[in-house]
Structure 1
Amino acid sequence: MFERFTKDAREAVVSAQEEARALDHAWIGPEHLLLGVVARTGAPGARTLARLGITPEACRAAIGSPRPFDDGDAEALRAFGIDLEAVRGRAEDAFGPGALDAPPPAGPAPRRLFGRGGGTKAHVPFTRRAKKALERSLREALALRDRRIGVEHVLLGILDAEDEVTAGVLRRLGTDPATLRSGVLADLAQAA
């Protein structure tokens, strides 16, 4: 499938791997692909992100955000009698500080592949979510009748409303999958 990717789209995927390593993550998820896309300044899709004020720095901060739950989540849970801060406190008592800060990667337990300060160039696997996002990018290109998979298709493939991790990152960036999808499609239509 990667032979159908444009040079920019391939570089976005490579950037995603580099970003995962820089964040000391042992996996590549759609959130890392988003970082790879936003880094392709000027490419379709990346321009939409820039227009919405989404920068690589803001994206990194949203991915590394210490609280994956926002105030809206806490309020919704309170309606069911669940105190999110109390749950967080108990989880940290049992599993250590930051136990709820990042989602675990899909698949087997993560192994520490590299250390801080450069580390090695060990393989960083794609999560099931990231693989599905890349598969969706092919479907997006076909739906738009494009012969090649570009950065814009990778971005559209990432925008799965059911992927709560990526949706949370987008919320922290001030948008959501549906709004971003509409923006990308509008920008593509305007460029045509």
Structure 2
Amino acid sequence: MFERLTAEARAVVRGAVEHADRTGQEAVGEPELLLALLDGRGTPAAAVFDGLGAPRTALAGDLAAVRRRGGLSAADAAALAGLGIDVEEVVARVEDVHGAGALAGGAAAGGRRKRVRGRLTPDARAVLERALRIALGRGDRHIGDEHLLLALTARSGPAGGVLAGHGVTYEAVERALGERAAGRAG
């Protein structure tokens, strides 16, 4: 599968490993893949973010908030608030006892930093496999960063939830890619 990755998609995977190393994560997951996609410039996925008006800084900030809450989305936190559970208070108490970022994992949670060396979480592997299926379904012979973006939006994980909160849905990305292709053809 990796031989089908475009240079842009390979850069995303390398960037995800760098994000995981920098934050002390033991493996590359969906959040790192999204952060690496947000770093891209001049790529198909970057054009989609720009075309949809998706603010990269806000996306990264919302992703950090989800990670700080241990993967709970803003919608999850709101639902728990409806039951009288203040997620921010729970997170604050956990961080008081275990340190900042305790629910996010990584170096901030007190572990030794380990080099990732390309280890992928099952969710990240699923994103890559889904990107391959999406590429094949679209008749593409390569897996580009646009396929990675589509794969992230195709599920409700932490990255997909953050993207959807900013209007970056599977349908919106497909539409933006179609408009981009039509613009190049015309």
Give your verdict on TM over 0.5.
yes
Cα displacement (A) at 1:25: 2.6
Cα distance in 1 between the residues matched to 2:81 and 2:60 = 29
Tell me, yes or no, if structure 1 residue 186 matches structure 2 residue 169. no
Q: Deviations over 1:119-175 (max 9, x none)?
A: xxx615211110100000000001111111111111111224331x2234336xx42
Correspondence for 2:151: 157
The 8 Å contact of residues 20 and 32 in structure 1, kept in 2 or not, is answered as yes
Give the share of equivalent positions with the same residue, in percent.
38
Q: Deviations over 1:108-127 (max 9, x none)?
A: xx75215xxxxxxx615211
Q: Give 2:82's aligned amino acid.
A: A
The 8 Å contact of residues 52 and 176 in structure 2, kept in 1 or not, is answered as no
The 8 Å contact of residues 38 and 54 in structure 1, kept in 2 or not, is answered as no
1:44-63 residue pairs with structure 2 within 5 A? Answer: 44-54=44-54, 57-63=57-63
1:9-48 residue pairs with structure 2 within 5 A? Answer: 9-48=9-48
Cα displacement (A) at 1:33: 1.2
Correspondence for 2:141: 147
Q: Which runs of 4+ in 1 moved over 6 A?
A: none
TM-score (structure 1 length as normaliser): 0.74
The 8 Å contact of residues 30 and 133 in structure 1, kept in 2 or not, is answered as yes
Where in structure 2 are there 5+ consecutive unaligned residues?
Answer: none
Tell me, yes or no, if structure 1 residue 99 matches structure 2 residue 102. yes
Tell me the secondary structure at the aligned position of residue 44 of structure 2. Answer: coil
The 8 Å contact of residues 27 and 119 in structure 2, kept in 1 or not, is answered as yes
* Aligned match for 1:83, one of 83, 86, 111: 86
The 8 Å contact of residues 26 and 124 in structure 1, kept in 2 or not, is answered as no
* Aligned match for 2:166, one of 170, 175, 184: 175
Tell me the secondary structure at the aligned position of residue 40 of structure 2. Answer: coil
1:107-118 residue pairs with structure 2 within 5 A? Answer: 112-113=113-114
Tell me, yes or no, if structure 1 residue 138 matches structure 2 residue 132. yes
* Distance change >3 Å, CA 148–CA 71, structure 1 → 2: closer
The 8 Å contact of residues 21 and 113 in structure 2, kept in 1 or not, is answered as no
Tell me the secondary structure at the aligned position of residue 143 of structure 2. Answer: coil
Where in structure 1 are there 5+ consecutive unaligned residues?
Answer: 105-109, 115-121
Deviates most, 55-64 or 132-141 = 55-64
Q: Deviations over 1:33-63 (max 9, x none)?
A: 1222233322222211122344554444333
Cα distance in 2 between the residues matched to 1:25 and 1:77 = 27
The 8 Å contact of residues 134 and 158 in structure 1, kept in 2 or not, is answered as no
